[in-house]
Amino acid sequence: MKNPNPEPAARYAVPVWNQDEKFYEDYHVGEVDRSIRRTISEGEVMLFNALLLDMHPYVADDIWAREKGIFHRRLVPGSMVFSYGLGLFAHNNVNTFSYGYDKLRFIKPTFIGDTIYGMRTLLEKTPKYETMGLFRVSYEIFRADDEELLLYTEHLQTVMYRTSQAENKTE
């Protein structure tokens, strides 16, 4: 079998899949993206719960959840829905950095077996530092079967300028 990519230098010259190099100037307020969908399995939930030591009966005890829980079935932890929901949009832009989250709300319960997807909207962008501006992006995570809104949050991100603010002033 012949290796179609034998030269390391040539391999590293190929852009990395799913990596962006967009700058502040490349984004526009009002841009909307829709994510792919993903189904949350029981195994993932139990692994997540075990890693966090979250063994609340709503997430870890099927009998308790069915017999005593108000939803009559087990829940997916909100922190997992948050992590998965934002992960569905992972774009790996080397010029953006997380600045924090605001308005994180768990609107409706998420259950094992639910399929989720999200919508991301660029709400605002403002100059912040000499080399980076600030974005406010909303994330809405929905259950695909009934289109119920499960989670809402706003992500603050710093994004590098193509040229620094000082350079822009001299032009």
For the chain, what are the domain ranges?
A: 21-170
What percentage of residues in the chain have a pLDDT greater than 90?
81
Total residue length of the chain: 171
Which DSSP helix (H) or strand (E) runs through 138?
Answer: strand 132-143
List pLDDT tens digits, range 28-70.
999 999 999 999 999 999 999 999 988 899 999 999 999 999 9
DSSP, collapsed to helix, strand or coil, labels residue 60 as helix
Tokens of residue 62, six digits = 């099927």
Give the pLDDT mean for 137-146: 97
pTM of the model: 0.87
The CATH class that applies to domain 21-170 reads alpha beta
Which residues face 79 on adjacent strands?
A: none
- Alpha helices per DSSP H over the chain: 8-13, 42-52, 57-60, 62-68, 78-87, 165-170
